[in-house]
């Protein structure tokens, strides 16, 4: 199991809820946002455990923590009960249950997951309870995006975001479950800073071909004729240009880190071994290449033509290499 807790524990969202809990000022409704739809339920369970467990941090081991993990703790009720999205029936049942006293403690929690799929009539039904929940009732709404939620819902909840994680944080949290470190580094580099996207990319075979291509390009691209050859090869791989940019960026960053004497900080060690003897990349050339990659990422956002963009970048990398050799 990936240690999601070690990741979420460091976020402002977690610290805010914990602070409010410790000072006895838990809000009656939270909206927890994360791009990681895949792990949203797990994140919400962590927050529910934090509020219920009673220890300094959730222990994951006591009866309440374990039962919350299995959706079986009587004072923490999860929705949707069936299927993918919360419907009016779910909200009717929430309203009814909200008037029943908690069984185990003095608080009752309602957790609404994947709320970005909740239709407008269900959202409208929820408004009154959100505004004035019965004593001891707290509502935790989880969503991958706030835009599908009505303004009237958003104005009644405390919004907290789980932001994208840095590559190093994701790497250390996922390393144990994803043993191919080269693949994991590339998957994280191409991802959006979430565990869900990184693990999906890890399983994607296309990423390996892309990494092979980038190693080959960095080590063997010597002339402008080569630029066209590599550009054609890359087009044939049919990968996303943004993935290509992320993978190359990671490689140049690792080369630069090592050149500056910090080989210990190289992120993707296995790939680094394959490219470390590439000729012609002094510090200046590597810094230049990274700047050009950043420019290419910006141009990509403005929908630049992919083939032209790739050729432009490869030429820039090559030119930088020779410019610095001449100095
Ligand atoms: Zn516990």
Q: Which residues contact 23 (CB under 8 A, 6 or more apart)?
A: none
219 and 118 co-located in one domain: no
133 and 186 co-located in one domain: no
Task: Tell me what pLDDT residue 327 has.
Answer: 62
Ligand 1 centroid distance, CA of 79 (Å): 22
Ligand 1 centroid distance, CA of 46 (Å): 10
Task: Tell me what pLDDT residue 324 has.
Answer: 80
Q: Which residues contact 163 (CB under 8 A, 6 or more apart)?
A: 11, 12, 193
135 and 16 co-located in one domain: yes
How many Cβ atoms are within 10 Å of 258's Cβ, its own excluded?
18
Cα–Cα distance measured from residue 154 to residue 29, given in angstroms and rounded to the nearest whole number: 10
Q: Which residue has the tokens 């943004």?
A: 242
24 and 146 co-located in one domain: yes
Residue segments in the chain with a per-residue pLDDT below the cut of 50 = none
Ligand 1 centroid distance, CA of 68 (Å): 9
Ligand 1 centroid distance, CA of 142 (Å): 21
Task: Tell me what pLDDT residue 323 has.
Answer: 85
48 and 142 co-located in one domain: yes
Q: Which residue has the tokens 């004072």?
A: 75
The enclosing domain of 179 has a CATH number of 1.20.272
151 and 12 co-located in one domain: yes
Helix (H) or strand (E) holding 289: helix 283-301
DSSP for residue 157: S
Ligand 1 centroid distance, CA of 51 (Å): 10
- If one counts the domains in the chain, the total is 2
281 and 137 co-located in one domain: no
Task: Tell me what pLDDT residue 185 has.
Answer: 86
> Which ranges of the chain would DSSP assign to H, the alpha helix?
4-8, 12-22, 40-53, 63-69, 88-98, 120-131, 151-154, 167-174, 181-190, 195-202, 206-220, 224-237, 241-259, 269-275, 283-301, 306-326
157 and 175 co-located in one domain: no
Bridge-based pairing of strands 29-33 and 158-161 is parallel
Cα–Cα distance measured from residue 1 to residue 20, given in angstroms and rounded to the nearest whole number: 29
How many Cβ atoms are within 10 Å of 283's Cβ, its own excluded?
12
Ligand 1 centroid distance, CA of 217 (Å): 51
200 and 113 co-located in one domain: no
The enclosing domain of 24 has a CATH number of 3.40.50.300
Is the distance from CB of 102 to CB of 75 less than 8 angstroms?
yes
75 and 89 co-located in one domain: yes
- Phi-psi label, residue 17: left if phi above 0, alpha if psi -120 to 50, beta otherwise: alpha
| Alpha carbon of residue 238 to chain centroid | 24
Ligand 1 centroid distance, CA of 157 (Å): 26
Ligand 1 centroid distance, CA of 69 (Å): 10
Ligand 1 centroid distance, CA of 125 (Å): 33
Ligand 1 centroid distance, CA of 216 (Å): 51
Instruction: Tell me which of 161, 176, 207 is where a domain ends.
Output: 161
Across 35-53, b (16+ Cβ under 10 Å) vs e yields bbbebbebbbbbbbbbbbb
What domain range is 268 assigned to? 167-326
Cα–Cα distance measured from residue 297 to residue 103, given in angstroms and rounded to the nearest whole number: 54
Ligand 1 centroid distance, CA of 5 (Å): 13
Helix (H) or strand (E) holding 304: none
- DSSP per residue, 231-263: HHHHHHHT--HHHHHHHHHHHHHHHHHHHTT-G
296 and 210 co-located in one domain: yes
| Alpha carbon of residue 95 to chain centroid | 33
Could you tell me which of 127, 114, 110, 140 has the C-alpha nearest to residue 27?
Answer: 140
Cα–Cα distance measured from residue 141 to residue 318, given in angstroms and rounded to the nearest whole number: 51
Ligand 1 centroid distance, CA of 172 (Å): 24
- Phi-psi label, residue 308: left if phi above 0, alpha if psi -120 to 50, beta otherwise: alpha
Ligand 1 centroid distance, CA of 261 (Å): 45
Instruction: Tell me which of 100, 128, 161 is where a domain ends.
Output: 161
How many Cβ atoms are within 10 Å of 260's Cβ, its own excluded?
11
Task: Tell me what pLDDT residue 268 has.
Answer: 83
Is the distance from CB of 280 to CB of 321 less than 8 angstroms?
yes
Ligand 1 centroid distance, CA of 275 (Å): 47
Ligand 1 centroid distance, CA of 174 (Å): 23
Q: Which residue has the tokens 């930088």?
A: 320
Ligand 1 centroid distance, CA of 54 (Å): 7
219 and 142 co-located in one domain: no
Instruction: Tell me which of 129, 161, 193 is where a domain ends.
Output: 161
Ligand 1 centroid distance, CA of 21 (Å): 15
Ligand 1 centroid distance, CA of 56 (Å): 9
Ligand 1 centroid distance, CA of 58 (Å): 5
């Amino acid at each position: 199991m990936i240690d999601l807790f070690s990741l979420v524990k460091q976020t402002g969202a977690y610290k805010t809820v914990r602070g409010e809990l410790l000072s006895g000022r838990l809000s009656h409704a939270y909206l927890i946002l994360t791009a990681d739809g895949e792990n949203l339920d797990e994140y919400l369970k962590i927050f529910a455990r934090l509020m219920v467990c009673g220890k300094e941090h959730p222990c994951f081991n006591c009866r309440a923590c374990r039962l919350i993990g299995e959706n079986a703790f009587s004072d923490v009720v999860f929705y949707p009960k069936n299927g993918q999205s919360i419907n009016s029936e779910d909200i009717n049942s929430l309203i009814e249950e909200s008037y029943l006293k908690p069984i185990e403690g003095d608080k009752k929690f309602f957790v609404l997951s994947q709320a970005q799929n909740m239709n407008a009539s269900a959202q409208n039904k929820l408004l009154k309870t959100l505004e004035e929940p019965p004593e001891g009732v707290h509502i935790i709404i989880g969503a991958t995006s706030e835009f599908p939620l009505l303004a009237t819902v958003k104005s009644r909840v405390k919004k907290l975001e789980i932001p994208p994680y840095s590559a190093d944080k994701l790497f250390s949290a996922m390393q144990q479950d994803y043993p191919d470190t080269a693949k994991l580094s590339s998957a994280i580099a191409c991802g959006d800073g979430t565990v869900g996207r990184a693990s999906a990319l890890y399983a994607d075979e296309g990423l390996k071909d892309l990494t092979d291509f980038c190693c080959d390009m960095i080590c063997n691209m010597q002339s402008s004729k080569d630029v066209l050859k590599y550009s054609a090869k890359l087009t044939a791989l049919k990968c996303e240009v943004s993935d290509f940019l992320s993978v190359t960026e990671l490689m140049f960053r690792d080369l630069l880190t090592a050149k500056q004497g910090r080989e210990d900080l190289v992120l993707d060690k296995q790939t680094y071994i394959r490219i470390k003897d590439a000729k012609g990349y002094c510090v200046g050339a590597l810094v230049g290449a990274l700047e050009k990659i950043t420019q290419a990422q910006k141009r990509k956002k403005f929908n630049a033509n992919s083939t032209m963009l790739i050729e432009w970048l490869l030429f820039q990398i090559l030119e930088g290499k020779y410019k610095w050799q001449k100095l």
